[in-house]
Structures are given as C-alpha cells and as structure tokens.
Amino acid sequence: MRGPDFLCGLDVALDVVGGKWKALIIWALGVEPRRTGELRRELEGVSEKMLIQQLRELERDGVVARTVHDQVPPKVVYSLTPTGVALELALRPLGDWGEGNCDRVAVTRRRATRACG
C-alpha cells in the first residue's frame, strides 16, 4: 500500500536516499557499523551537522539503527536495519552503473561546460 505522499515506489526510494550524503552513508554502513566520527572521516567533505541530520532522517525512515552503549563517554554506533540492508542491495547496481560510466559522464560534462563557456 502506497502512502498519499508518494506517486510510486521510485518516488519513495528517491525521497529516502535523496541528497548528496544519504546513499553514501548507506554504502559506508553496508560495509560495517560505524560511529559518527568514523563516518565523518570516511565521507570526506560532510559537516558534522549535515551528517547528524542525514543520520536522523535515515533513522526516522527505518533505514539506520542508532545504538547507544552505556559507557563514559557515551558510544553511539550506527548500523543498517534489515530495511537498510535491502536498500543497500538495491543501490549496488546503481553504483555499478556509476563505476562503469564515470569517465563517459565526466567527458560529456566537460564538453558541455566548454560549449557553454
């Protein structure tokens, strides 16, 4: 059953992974659970504020689980839920397409930029 906020399944999926960082967070957590600092180091260029915001949204959507370990200082670990694992598996072919077409896309974009400039 589809909610009233979405047109189709693709609309739901793109809403959940939309933005620059969410798919990369899912990819990183697909390798292994990680702490916030580990994710920030892995995802070069993401600010702490943006990372936390994206993690909260992924947690809200049931893709990421946040586990707080009772110790001092507190240890917070993020991992994929079963829904997140399924989403990561669904994103793999898209990543494969990107790997296979990266050079072609880069060349095409450079040509387009020169034609406009």
**Per-residue confidence in pLDDT tens, the chain, 117 aa:** 566 788 898 999 999 999 889 999 999 999 999 999 999 999 999 999 999 999 999 999 999 999 999 888 889 999 999 999 999 999 999 999 999 999 999 999 988 888 876
Note whether 59 and 43 are within 8 A (CB): no
Q: Look up residue 103 and give its DSSP letter.
A: H
Handedness of CA 38, 44, 47, 52 (dihedral sign): negative
Q: Both tokens of residue 71?
A: 């110790």
**∠8-12-16 over CA atoms, to 5°?**
165
Q: What is the pLDDT of residue 42?
A: 94
CATH fold label, 9-91:
Arc Repressor Mutant, subunit A (1.10.10)
pTM: 0.86
Cα torsion through 97, 99, 105, 110, rounded to 10:
170
Q: What is the pLDDT of residue 1?
A: 52
C-alpha 76/C-alpha 39 separation (Å) is 12
Q: What is the pLDDT of residue 2?
A: 62
